Amino acid sequence: MTIAQKTHTELAVPGIGSITIPVGLFIDNEWVLPANGETFGTVNPATGKPLVDVAHASAEDVDRAVKSAREAFHTRWGLRVTGAERGRLLNRLADLIERDAKTIAALESLNAGKGISKATNGDVAGTVSTLRYYAGLADKFYGQTINQFGPDAIAYTLHQPIGVCGQIIPWNYPLMMWSWKVAPALAAGCTIVMKPSELTPLTALYMCDLVKEAGIPAGVINTVPGLGATTGEAISRHMDIDKVAFTGSVATGRRISVAAAESNLKKVTLELGGKSPSLVFPSADLEQAAAWTAMGIFWNSGQDCCASSRIYVHESVYDEFVRLLKAKAETCAIGQPSDPATSFGPLISAGQRDKVLSYIHSARDEGANIITGGDNWGTDGFWVQPTVIGDVHQGMKVVREEIFGPVTAVGVFKTEEEAVKLANDTSYGLAGAVFSNDASQVARVTGAIDAGTIWVNQYSSVSAGVPFGGFKQSGIGRELGTYGIEAYTQVKAVHQNIGQKMGWPF
């Protein structure tokens, strides 16, 4: 930790040049220094070299942010602003992101190690579409009228915003996860205390100035970068935060659940880890199945909660599928994030690289076959080769545990029943895929897999209008779609007497 002395700094961004970026805390629409004066460092994952130091929010800073959010909720947002007006401001924010898309994508690429074309066409474009979806939904969520009491009484429901929401987002999709949290919360009328990952805080901080420029009132979005053990813990245990939304590991999700329960029993939405199975049946187009599953595991260098990290293939087509998947792995577009041709970049940190390599080493030790990859790539930064591991069984660590890197384990099955059993033999339940051209089989298997999202003859399709979330230990609740805005509302039942008379004594 160093001493915070400024709220902005200069940073050289590939393709953009030297720009001024915020590195302070954003509270009540103002940039401020942390109360304890501390900062933390960020690192370029492609080189391993330092980027910038960012202010580290203490519990005192979180408290300031919560007070700002609470005041805004009661006086400038919440029920005081119409859904149509909230939608207008969300659309205005989306306009500003589109205006600055080149700079935002370059900053995301630099901080998170993403290929610039993927950051532009995936992360920035996805953020804009999420904001616009919820802008359109902001005045379109309704209660019910319940008329079962005769002509003289009626009941109806109101869907009202929960209040002040703590939001803790991960490092693998910093900008998109920001929009997945912010857009439905604002559309519902909630106010926010946002903690970006300490590894990738730069785009969340950049968004703050756009929030202010869009005309979103002071205190509606407050951003407090910091470490999970301090800033995240303070958010999870704060007595005046009404809900926490978190995306990240199962272990951290458990800690947040405990903190929420031990404080004010705040509501939680948790989108946690995954070990998503793909089932490849004999009727599948094997070339397409290999292409989709390769994209599913090598997109974002495998740092994806629903990555296709377990692939089960029917014994009759196993050898051919593995040959095709190997070819896909060996032709990934590996390169520097600033190169438009790059689709496969570095892992986020040295620790993550070493963790992924340790899983590969464990697979070797347990008797698996490293079909391709299995080592570092390059000499600088945090790179791991696209890796395919074959001849696996259910007891291996690479099959049981989430790796969060570009490593997939390929196993074999004999029957449909065995395939489903293998798919469900996990504590996770985030996503899965079925590759088959047998319509009856697709219907049976998609219904039988225990996961919140199932893709059929494709992988990784995500839309702002389609709910996303997990079964089992992959989480609680749903994000995106109308389910996403419901997660930021609470239902109030109103019983209204129109003409009923109360006799006395009753």
Q: How far apart are CA 147 and CA 145, in angstroms?
A: 6
Can you give the length of the chain in residues? 506
> DSSP label at 344?
B
Runs of H (alpha helix) within 299-368 = 318-330, 350-365
DSSP string, 43-100: E-TTT--EEEEEE---HHHHHHHHHHHHHHHHHTSGGGS-HHHHHHHHHHHHHHHHHT
As a whole number of angstroms, the distance between CA 463 and CA 309 comes to 21
Angstrom distances, CA of residue 170 to CA of 42, 157, 217, 272, 501:
14, 35, 26, 10, 57
Give the max Cα distance, the chain.
87
List 198, 271, 402, 479, catalytic entry: 271
> Is residue 271 annotated as part of the catalytic site, yes or no?
yes
Q: What Cα–Cα distance (Å) separates residue 152 from each residue in 147, 149, 294, 495?
A: 10, 7, 63, 11
130 three-class SS: helix
Give the Å distances, CA to CA, from 202 to 8, 24, 58, 185, 208: 11, 10, 18, 21, 10
435: left (phi over 0), alpha (psi -120 to 50) or beta: beta
Residues in contact with 199: Cβ distance below 8 Å, sequence separation at least 6, in sequence order: 42, 43, 171, 348, 349
Asked if residues 205 and 196 have their Cβ atoms less than 8 Å apart, the reply is yes
| Interatomic CA distance for residues 270 and 452, integer angstroms | 13
CA distances from 420 to 228, 275, 407, 415, 457 (A): 37, 14, 22, 9, 16
Q: Which residues are catalytic?
A: 271
